[in-house]
């Protein structure tokens, strides 16, 4: 059960709660095992040479996707260059909360077989971690570009630039041996293809790299890994010196998906920022060969600030805790706590309603291994919903329209309960509003603790209204209308039933209401398409993923619901 609007997060306060709280640099976080003593005064190179294979940092499914925009990126870059020393080790950039787990991680992400490895699950702080990794990738690419351009004029400077790039790779890749093997295989495949090389096929959607420091959430992986490895792979091909490899290198460019992604926009911002910084440095620097060595030294200095003087408050939770509860509490503090009304000089990105809904649904599966969570995430959320609309803003509009329908249903339930009966249904009514499937079909019986449609109806009367003492007939919605039940709604209910958990009456109705959203969404598209066809308009279903169509879809949903209920 998730507690809402709690002053203190359940499990993080009081008897039995245990946490490690310590300031750490990104060098310490990425290169050393948390809990080990980190040398904040050492250089990035020294830390990289002595680092052990640290646990992977994994972003859980209940986290929203990477979403930092230009304002946040500009603030981060400014802090790297000019951040004041407001803590003993450097500049404080906030807290990051972790929970140490043991998960099976294979070559292609979380797996159900193999040896379990220690991972750090990032409950809060993924935006800063991802941003830091993308910034380091931009420094690496700048160093590799310098290494190639200086190879003719200054061999020593070129070697120093390449060595600096290698040091930065240790920050982005926890297992350099596996990374080197992956580089060799990838370069061989691309070089063999030559002009036919397909860079877009190197990183399939949702697949993670077992040797990388960070495993983003499922939808962010493809774009993140593309930008993390593109510069290095291109450099490897150019270093081969063959005609085929050079031809393949010309094909190793940002894909359309990667360029349009938020990670791609962040990486492009840092690429430009670093290039402009180098140009300014050269304008005021020496004009002789020492400028070559000077610009590399300056890049090392600035990258060192990004890694060693940007300080996070590292928080590791040691006791058992409901991970989704922690994230929900952090969301609510952002939306409804004092942080929502006090002035914040460095605001982040606001949460969306769809973030809350996703967290609510996935909370029922957080006790499962990560591999099973990802399978359910794709089955219950990603494929039926997230990949079918234009992003969280578009989905929020549809959720708003859906909740408006739910409010009408609550009002109808109260009226029906106090009018002594239910309204007769017509053929069109039968397609409009059914109760959630309270018993699963197929193998096995649904958990008896999941409430029936009648039990749910008795608990969903309007706020401030007397609680209904009688429930509508089985097969009817709260107001007496039947409604459409789609296959995705059945999947959600069956998925919940398969967990064999004892849900309370407070747990289940919100999740089952979300399950109804699947059916409502499918029916809205169906009716919108039918009305458009009747008017002679051709509708491409793919357009429902575009922001331009979603407002029309949401407005239409309210219209046809009022037509049926009139």
Q: For position 508, what pLDDT does the model report?
A: 59
Q: For position 7, what pLDDT does the model report?
A: 65
Q: For position 444, what pLDDT does the model report?
A: 31
19-25 and 56-58 beta bridge pairing: unpaired
Q: Give the span between the Cα atoms of 122 and 128, in whole angstroms.
A: 11
**Is pLDDT of 339 > 70?**
no
Query: CA triplet 372, 378, 383: central angle to 5 degrees?
Result: 165
CA dihedral 440, 442, 444, 446 (to 10 degrees): 0
Output phi, psi for 282, to 5 deg: -70, -30
Q: How far apart are the first and last CA of the chain?
A: 38
Select from 215, 175, 171, 194 the least CA-distant residue to 27.
171
- What confidence tens digit (pLDDT) does each residue in 72-111 have? 999 999 999 987 777 777 888 988 989 888 877 665 666 6
109-110 and 116-124 beta bridge pairing: unpaired
**Is pLDDT of 346 > 50?**
no
* Per-residue DSSP letter, 117: E
More confident call, 288 vs 241: 241
Select from 421, 507, 407, 513 the least CA-distant residue to 471.
421
C-alpha to C-alpha distances, 126 to 57, 58, 66, 130, nearest whole angstrom: 9, 9, 8, 6
**Is pLDDT of 364 > 60?**
yes
Sign of the alpha-carbon dihedral angle for 288, 290, 296, 298:
negative
What tokens appear for 333 in the block? 């503090």
Select from 388, 292, 393, 317 the least CA-distant residue to 121.
317
- What confidence tens digit (pLDDT) does each residue in 131-142 have? 999 999 999 999
**Is pLDDT of 146 > 50?**
yes
Q: For position 423, what pLDDT does the model report?
A: 44
Sign of the alpha-carbon dihedral angle for 428, 432, 436, 441:
positive
Q: For position 224, what pLDDT does the model report?
A: 96
Q: For position 491, what pLDDT does the model report?
A: 79
What tokens appear for 512 in the block? 């089952």
Q: Give the span between the Cα atoms of 307 and 136, in whole angstroms.
A: 8
Question: Given pLDDT bands bounded at 50, 70 and 90, which one contains residue 46?
Answer: very low
Question: Given pLDDT bands bounded at 50, 70 and 90, which one contains residue 483?
Answer: low
Q: Give the span between the Cα atoms of 124 and 126, in whole angstroms.
A: 6
Q: Give the span between the Cα atoms of 22 and 63, in whole angstroms.
A: 23
In this structure, are residues 369 and 61 in contact, taking their beta carbons and an 8 Å threshold?
no
Q: Give the span between the Cα atoms of 238 and 235, in whole angstroms.
A: 5
Q: For position 512, what pLDDT does the model report?
A: 73
Q: Give the span between the Cα atoms of 235 and 232, in whole angstroms.
A: 5
What average pLDDT is seen over the chain?
Answer: 74
Q: Give the span between the Cα atoms of 250 and 457, in whole angstroms.
A: 62
- What confidence tens digit (pLDDT) does each residue in 423-461 have? 434 333 333 333 333 333 333 333 333 334 444 444 333
């Amino acid at each position: 059960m998730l507690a809402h609007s709690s002053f203190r997060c359940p499990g993080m306060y009081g008897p039995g709660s245990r946490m490690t709280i310590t300031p750490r640099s990104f060098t310490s976080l990425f290169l050393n095992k948390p809990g080990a003593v980190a040398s904040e005064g050492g250089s990035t190179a020294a830390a990289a040479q002595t680092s052990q294979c640290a646990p992977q940092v994994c972003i859980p499914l209940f986290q929203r996707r990477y979403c930092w925009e230009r304002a946040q990126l500009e603030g981060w870059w400014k802090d790297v260059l000019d951040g004041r020393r407001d803590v003993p080790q450097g500049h404080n950039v906030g807290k990051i909360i972790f929970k140490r787990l043991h998960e099976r991680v294979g070559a292609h992400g979380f797996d159900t077989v193999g040896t379990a490895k220690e991972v750090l699950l990032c409950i809060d702080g993924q935006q800063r971690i991802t941003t830091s990794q993308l910034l380091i990738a931009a420094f690496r690419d700048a160093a590799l570009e310098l290494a190639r351009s200086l190879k003719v004029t200054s061999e020593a400077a070129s070697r120093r630039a390449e060595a600096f790039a290698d040091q930065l790779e240790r920050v982005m890749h926890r297992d350099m041996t596996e990374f080197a093997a992956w580089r060799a295989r990838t370069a061989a495949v691309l070089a063999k293809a030559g002009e036919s090389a397909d860079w877009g096929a190197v990183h399939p959607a949702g697949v993670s790299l077992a040797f990388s420091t960070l495993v983003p959430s499922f939808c962010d992986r493809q774009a993140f890994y593309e930008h993390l490895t593109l510069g290095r792979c291109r450099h490897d091909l150019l270093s081969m010196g063959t005609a085929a490899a050079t031809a393949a290198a010309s094909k190793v460019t940002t894909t359309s998906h990667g360029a349009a992604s938020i990670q791609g926009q962040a990486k492009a911002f840092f690429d430009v920022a670093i290039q402009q910084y180098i140009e300014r440095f050269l304008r005021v620097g020496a004009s002789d060969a020492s400028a070559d060595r000077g610009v590399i030294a300056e890049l090392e200095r600035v990258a060192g600030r990004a890694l060693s003087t940007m300080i996070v408050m590292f928080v590791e939770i040691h006791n058992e805790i409901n991970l989704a509860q922690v994230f929900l509490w952090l969301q609510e503090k952002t939306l409804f706590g004092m942080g929502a009304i006090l002035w914040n000089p460095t605001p982040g990105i606001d949460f969306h309603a769809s973030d809350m809904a996703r967290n609510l649904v996935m909370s029922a599966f957080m006790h499962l291994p990560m591999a099973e969570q990802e399978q359910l995430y794709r089955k219950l959320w990603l494929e039926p919903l997230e990949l079918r609309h234009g992003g969280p803003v578009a989905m929020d509009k549809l959720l708003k329209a859906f909740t408006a329908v739910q409010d009408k249903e609550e009002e109808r339930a109260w009226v029906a309960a106090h009018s002594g009966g239910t309204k007769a249904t017509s053929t069109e009514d039968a397609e409009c509003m059914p109760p959630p499937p309270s018993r699963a079909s197929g193998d096995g019986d649904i958990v008896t603790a999941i409430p029936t449609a009648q039990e749910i109806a008795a608990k969903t009367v309007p706020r401030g209204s007397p609680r209904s003492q009688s429930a509508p007939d089985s097969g009817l919605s709260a107001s007496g209308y039947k409604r459409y039940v789609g296959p995705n709604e059945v999947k959600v209910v069956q998925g919940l039933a398969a967990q064999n958990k004892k849900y309370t009456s407070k747990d289940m109705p919100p999740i089952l209401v979300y399950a109804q959203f699947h059916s409502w969404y499918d029916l809205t598209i169906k009716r919108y398409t039918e009305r458009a066809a009747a008017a002679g308009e051709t509708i491409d279903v793919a357009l429902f993923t575009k922001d331009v169509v979603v407002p029309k879809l949401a407005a239409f949903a309210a219209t046809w619901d009022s037509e049926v209920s009139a």
